[in-house]
Amino acid sequence: MMRWGGLIVALAVPVVALAVPVELHYFWAATCPDCQVMKAYLRTLAADYPDLRIIEHEVAYSASEFRLMVDLAAAYGVTEVATPVVVVGDLASVGIGRAAELRIAEEVARCAAEGCESPLTRLHPVPIPPPDDEGAPPGSGSWGVALVFGLVAVLLVAWIVTR
C-alpha cells in the first residue's frame, strides 16, 4: 500500500508544478463604487483560479499608479480610461458589467491554460544606452577621461610633495 501512496504523490507533484500562474492588474480608486463591485467579482474569480495573482493599484491617491494605468491602457489601445480597469493577458477591460466579467473570466481561463506574459511586458522598456567608449580605441571615452584625470592628480600631488 505504501508503494502506491508514493507513486500517487510522485505523479501529483508534477501536476501541481505545471499550474500556470496568471498575472492580472486591477486599477481602482477608493472613491469609486464600481470598483468595489469589480473587486468582489475578482475575489470570486480568484477562488476558481488559485494561480491567479491579482495585483491591485489604487490610482486616486498615487500619481505613479495612475500613470501606470494610463500607460498600460495605451499599450493595449485603450484611449479613454476610468476606474475600474482590469488588464490580463491580451485584454484590457474598463468598467463593470456582466459582459466585462465574462471577457475577464474568458481571458483568465485562456491564460491559465496556455500561459500569458505579464501585461507589464507591453510597456516600452527603458533603453539602456551603450557605454560611451564602446568601439572606441583604448584610452578614449569615459575610461580614457578618468585615466587622464587620475594621472594628472597623481602628477599634481607628486609635484606638490617634491617642492
| Per-residue pLDDT tens digits for 55-92 | 999 999 999 999 999 999 999 999 999 999 999 999 99
Q: What CATH number is attached to the domain comprising 13? A: 3.40.30.10
Give φ, ψ of 94 to 5 degrees: -115, 130
For the chain, the domain total comes to 2
How confident is the model over 13-36, as a mean pLDDT? 81
Same domain, 102 and 162: no
Instruction: Return the pLDDT at 145.
Output: 55
Q: String of b and e for 3-14 (b: at least 16 CB within 10 Å)?
A: eeeeeeeeeeee
Instruction: State the average pLDDT for the chain.
Output: 82
What pTM, to 2 d.p., does this model score?
0.67
Give the best-scoring range by mean pLDDT among 3-17, 114-128, 129-143, 144-158: 114-128
